[in-house]
Amino acid sequence: MVSIIDAQREIILSTIRQTTRGDWKVLVVDTESRRLIDNVLEEDAILNENITHIEQIEQRRPTNRDVDAIYFLTPQPHIVDCVMADLGKRKYRKAFLVWTSLLHPALRDRIDKSSTAREQIALFKVLNVEFLPRESHLVTFRDPWAFPVLFHPGCNGLVRQHMEDVAQKIVGVCVALGEYPIIRYYKPRTPSHEASILCSHLARFVQDELDLYAKFHEDFPPQTGRARGVLIITDRSMDLMAPLLHEFTYQAMVHDLLPIREGDKITYKTVVNEGQPDQSEKELEISEKDKIWVESRHQHMKDIIEKLTADFQKFMNANPNFTKQDDNPASLGAIKDMLAGLPQFQEMKEAYNLHLSMAQESMNRFQRFKLPDVASVEQILATGLDEDYKKPKGMADQVIRMLDEPSVTPPDRLRLLCLYTLHRSGVLPADLTKLLAHAQLPSQDAYTIQNLSLLGANTSRTLKDPRPVPPALFPTIPPPPGTNLAEEYALSRYQPALHSLLETLSTGSLDPQTFPYTKPPLDMGADSASLASATSLRAAKPTWARSRTTAGAENRQRCIVFMAGGATYSESRACYTAGRERGKEVVLVTSHMLTPALFIRQVSDLSAERRQLGLPADAPKQQAPAHLSEPDQVAKPAPAPQRQQAAAPAQQMGAMNLNGGGPATARPHVPAPAAAPVQANSSAKLQKDPEKKKKHHFFGKKDKS
């Protein structure tokens, strides 16, 4: 199976390997490119590619003109300032510039016009790797600010630049996967909000960037036996129910109910060695390295607790040396074997402890906050059908009864009112005021509900408004007659719209009016099951609509879904499920992952003034450190140790450590014969003339800022 983590890791390592070519070099990174590397690579993997040590460009570094440097950098203006300062001081012998994405033409011109820079630059390359894989089939940009930029009325002037940046990142994902996909995008049937044209503009940006990349890279896409992939571009407005519902699969539930910390790493604080003298609290990481997490995250919580308990007991029984005290003295061989297995035992024990703790605490909150009752009402509001898949009656009374329940938390009451408003396609303003008062919620929460209109929802109506509730984008399909859903699974009847989209796509019946193409295939009327194999560009109509395929893992067709404005964990699960059931590879790409609490907060902020949002675009521009203008001390070799005859000492290690933050372990400097000059690759990605770009006006307004 494909893994976007492995794909990005290999791109970075192969670039370093091809640049060092057996000669020792220094790697220079910046804060953001360091995050990209840390996300997929251990430091040792980099040092093993003939890298003596790693330095950070914003920090003080000694001049070392006896060694070449590979700069792995993000194309930010202040980072270009840092590079120009280095080149002005001739800090290293030669500079190999590798950028994570395309530079702005003005920044590129600044470098190209410097004779000092041209003398030292041996390579100029763009990788298009400015994205952060989180799982094998999940990519985020860690950009929660995308939501207000796209949907806040005061941020229209930021939309164009944001879309250009996002298009570059989406192209990076496509290139990493070796895909030149056919692009389709979400076009609302009855648009009622400014951002309704968001997907159409973004799709054309991505199409233009992909075409440009393919034009100047003859090896793209690579030749494979795989059918041409599909890229679906949609946005948060396609499904407003999913981020509000309580989801009871493991990953979604723990992120909703527990205080999980999400940053560069995802961690949860739990008690280890409970009841023992060495009992303590510890932050444990949740990652792809955790096999228990990877195997369990998409399973229903009811199944998880049973499975974790049984698996943990098997694990303890399989390791009696660590769990039972024997009065008889162990042999030296037994002690040696026990010590050798101790680190792995402790790691697995902590992993089981983490997941048993998270699962148990989730179920405690599930009962304490009356979530079975809350979720039962939520499912009816979201699906429009009761548990018998019939049209419900008296929903207002059911909602009011839940609002009266003291165990239901205020955030859950607000979520319930949001769902009720969406279910009714708007409520009377007077009724909303009464519902908020009945729920004992502050009156300003009315703005949160009304702000859903900025995402295309109908939130208000009048007594004389005959407007019927619009049909769902993908109506709920009842199960076959005679199907008896257990109570636990009855609380999970709602399927995200993304799940239905992928199912419809797989049958070849995805509506071309609601999901049009940027470039319609020439053979749209042909039977998808009888299409010929793809050409060198795999340009035939995508064969996604074929039934379950028996193709090998390497030849499975790929579908990339980009969700603008954030995606939910239920949607991530839907992508894995669709891929598994249809024998495809489905990769979800999004700006950031949404929990219900984050979604409610971001929707609430849509009525705040822009200056209160703290947008990075409104923050002071980052500046290169002042010390770069100061003269550097040239690195000197350390004095040889007394009373010993030794080889020349190692070069002093830079202060940068990718995994920790302290000094990295020094690598021996291995002298190498002078290499032949490397011709600068200044055409790794041709720049577009900014004056010749098409003008796009978003949301029908011109930027007046």
* 323-342 pLDDT tens trace: 554 444 444 455 445 445 55
pTM for the whole thing? 0.84
Count of Cβ atoms closer than 10 Å to residue 2 Cβ: 20
The helix (run of H) or strand (run of E) holding residue 502 is: helix 497-506
Residue 24: pLDDT band by 50, 70, 90 thresholds?
very high
Cα Rg, the chain, nearest whole Å? 28
402-416, 488-502, 594-608: the lowest-pLDDT one: 488-502
Distance between CA atoms of residues 572 and 498, nearest Å: 9
CA distances from 193 to 126, 190, 406, 446 (A): 37, 9, 36, 19
Joined together, the tokens standing for residue 190 give 């009855």
Distance between CA atoms of residues 3 and 585, nearest Å: 10
The reported pLDDT for the residue numbered 333 is: 52
Joined together, the tokens standing for residue 315 give 């694990």
Residue 483: pLDDT band by 50, 70, 90 thresholds?
low
pLDDT tops 60 at residue 639 = no
Signed CA dihedral, 528, 532, 537, 543: sign only: positive
Helix axes 429-438, 395-404, angle to 10 degrees: 30
Q: Which amino acid does the sequence have at 395? A: M
Q: Write down the mean pLDDT value for the chain.
A: 84
Signed CA dihedral, 162, 163, 167, 170: sign only: positive
Joined together, the tokens standing for residue 323 give 């769990």
The reported pLDDT for the residue numbered 315 is: 78
Tell me the pLDDT tens digit for each residue of 395-439: 999 999 999 999 999 999 999 999 999 999 999 999 999 999 999
Reading phi first (left if > 0) and then psi (alpha if -120 to 50, else beta), residue 649 is in beta
Distance between CA atoms of residues 700 and 588, nearest Å: 30
The reported pLDDT for the residue numbered 242 is: 97
Cis peptide before 221 (omega within 30 of 0): yes
pLDDT tops 70 at residue 693 = no
Average pLDDT over residues 374-400: 93
Query: In terms of Cα–Cα distance, which of 101, 105, 71 is closest to 86?
Result: 71
Reading phi first (left if > 0) and then psi (alpha if -120 to 50, else beta), residue 444 is in alpha
pLDDT tops 90 at residue 611 = yes
Distance between CA atoms of residues 211 and 205, nearest Å: 10
What is the three-state SS of 585-624? EEEEEECCEECHHHHHHHHHHHHCCHHHCCCHHHCCCCCC
For 52, phi and psi rounded to 5 degrees?
-70, -45
Average pLDDT over residues 285-308: 91
Tell me the pLDDT tens digit for each residue of 200-230: 999 999 999 999 999 999 999 999 889 999 9
% of residues, the chain, pLDDT over 90: 66
Tell me the pLDDT tens digit for each residue of 496-522: 999 999 999 999 999 999 999 999 887
15-19, 35-39, 664-668: the lowest-pLDDT one: 664-668
pLDDT tops 50 at residue 571 = yes
Distance between CA atoms of residues 652 and 702, nearest Å: 54
The reported pLDDT for the residue numbered 630 is: 85
Joined together, the tokens standing for residue 279 give 């009992």
SS3 453: helix
Going along the chain from its start, the domains and CATH numbers come out as 4-129 (3.40.50.2060), 133-239+555-613 (3.40.50.1910), 250-365 (3.90.830.10), 370-493 (1.25.40.60)
pLDDT tops 50 at residue 653 = no
| Total count of residues recorded for the chain | 705
Q: C-alpha 563: how far from its chain's center?
A: 10
Reading phi first (left if > 0) and then psi (alpha if -120 to 50, else beta), residue 499 is in alpha
Average pLDDT over residues 346-366: 89
Distance between CA atoms of residues 348 and 353, nearest Å: 8
Residue 133 pairs in a beta bridge with 139
SS3 533: coil
Distance between CA atoms of residues 415 and 401, nearest Å: 15
CA distances from 629 to 5, 68, 388 (A): 38, 21, 73
CA distances from 540 to 205, 223, 485, 557 (A): 22, 14, 42, 13
For 61, phi and psi rounded to 5 degrees?
-140, 140
Beta strands in 83-159 (DSSP E): 95-99, 121-126, 132-135, 138-140
Distance between CA atoms of residues 93 and 176, nearest Å: 31
Q: What angle do CA 107, 110, 115 make, to 5 degrees?
A: 150
Helices (H) and strands (E) in the chain, counts: 23, 16
The reported pLDDT for the residue numbered 347 is: 81
The reported pLDDT for the residue numbered 500 is: 94
Count of Cβ atoms closer than 10 Å to residue 574 Cβ: 26
Count of Cβ atoms closer than 10 Å to residue 278 Cβ: 6
The reported pLDDT for the residue numbered 650 is: 40
pLDDT tops 80 at residue 548 = no
Distance between CA atoms of residues 615 and 537, nearest Å: 40
SS3 670: coil
Distance between CA atoms of residues 237 and 190, nearest Å: 12
Residue 199: pLDDT band by 50, 70, 90 thresholds?
very high
Which of residues 512 and 678 earns the better pLDDT score?
A: 512
The reported pLDDT for the residue numbered 511 is: 94
